[in-house]
């Protein structure tokens, strides 16, 4: 029987991981319905990312790659996994952390402290660019002018441009950002609601150091309605 095809067995009434058949499962993967243990989740998660990188030829040896680092779980997982796979499989990439300081008092200051710790933990150089330096004003300044409505739209556009400018400053070949399945679902739903049809387990288990507080302006963002709707559907389903 293939290791990956091994079925869960019961020992003393306890179900075992369907991959190693040694440890108790801690999660059921929605994509495969596999019930697997923490250690096997690490292996499967990292190997799937490696296969995507190899199959799609995402990188070439010697390339300079900037990792968009916000301090949140998605970008923290991306930074950790990419640096680990780069070392393990010898991709030959020159990796950097690129962070954007929007100038949101009581929010971005704390998350950047996490990114600075990531810099030391993963041994990756860090470049921080601020709205103040790039545009002459902070996100707090913008909110004072326009109010709380639609401010996330402004921030999103400015942040993407700031990442592009940072990538140009670092003279990198590629810029990578971290996203999860909820992000994709929310974006698809938002596009439908707008009529524009065409347009946190790993970090927890690995005990990665990341910043998890929502932006103080995000409760008024349109995406928040899509997020809550999706979570309501999940509660009904599971």
Domain of 145, CATH number, reads 3.40.50.620
Answer yes or no: do 124 and 216 share one domain: yes
Give the whole-angstrom CA distance, residue 25 versus residue 20: 10
Residues in the chain with pLDDT < 50? 1-12, 199
CB atoms within 10 A of CB 114: 22
pLDDT for 3 equals: 46
pLDDT for 61 equals: 97
Is there a domain that residue 89 lies in?
Answer: yes
Does 74 appear as a known binding residue? yes
Confirm if 128 and 99 have CB atoms less than 8 A apart: yes
Domain containing 39: what range? 1-57
Does 69 appear as a known binding residue? yes
pLDDT for 238 equals: 56
pLDDT for 44 equals: 94
Does 70 appear as a known binding residue? yes
pLDDT tens per residue across span 185-232: 777 777 776 666 554 566 656 667 766 666 666 656 666 777 777 777
Answer yes or no: do 174 and 70 share one domain: yes
Q: Which of 57, 76, 93 is the last residue of a domain?
A: 57
Answer yes or no: do 102 and 32 share one domain: no
Confirm if 46 and 80 have CB atoms less than 8 A apart: no
pTM greater than 0.85 (yes/no): no
Q: Which residues contact 174 (CB under 8 A, 6 or more apart)?
A: 58, 59, 63, 64, 65, 66
Does 67 appear as a known binding residue? no
Does 183 appear as a known binding residue? yes
């Amino acid at each position: 029987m293939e290791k990956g095809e091994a079925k869960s067995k019961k020992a003393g009434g306890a179900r075992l991981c369907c991959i190693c058949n040694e440890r108790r499962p801690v999660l059921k993967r929605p994509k495969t319905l596999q019930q697997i243990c923490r250690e096997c989740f690490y292996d499967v998660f990292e190997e799937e990312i490696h296969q995507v990188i190899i199959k799609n030829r995402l990188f070439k040896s010697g390339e300079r790659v900037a990792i968009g680092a916000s301090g949140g779980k998605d970008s923290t997982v991306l930074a950790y996994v990419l640096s680990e796979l780069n070392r393990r499989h010898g991709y030959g990439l020159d990796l950097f952390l690129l962070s954007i300081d929007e100038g949101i008092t009581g929010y971005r200051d704390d998350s950047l402290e996490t990114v600075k710790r990531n810099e030391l933990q993963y041994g990756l150089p860090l470049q921080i660019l601020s709205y103040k330096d790039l545009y002459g004003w902070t996100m707090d300044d913008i909110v004072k002018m326009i109010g709380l409505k639609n401010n996330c739209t402004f921030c999103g556009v400015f942040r993407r441009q700031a990442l592009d400018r940072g990538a140009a400053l670092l003279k990198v070949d590629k810029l990578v950002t971290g996203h999860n399945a909820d992000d994709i679902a929310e974006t698809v739903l938002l596009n439908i609601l707008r009529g524009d049809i065409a347009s946190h387990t790993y970090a927890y288990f690995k005990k990665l150091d990341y910043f998890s507080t929502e932006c103080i302006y995000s409760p008024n963002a349109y995406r928040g309605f899509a997020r809550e709707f999706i979570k309501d559907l999940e509660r009904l389903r599971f």
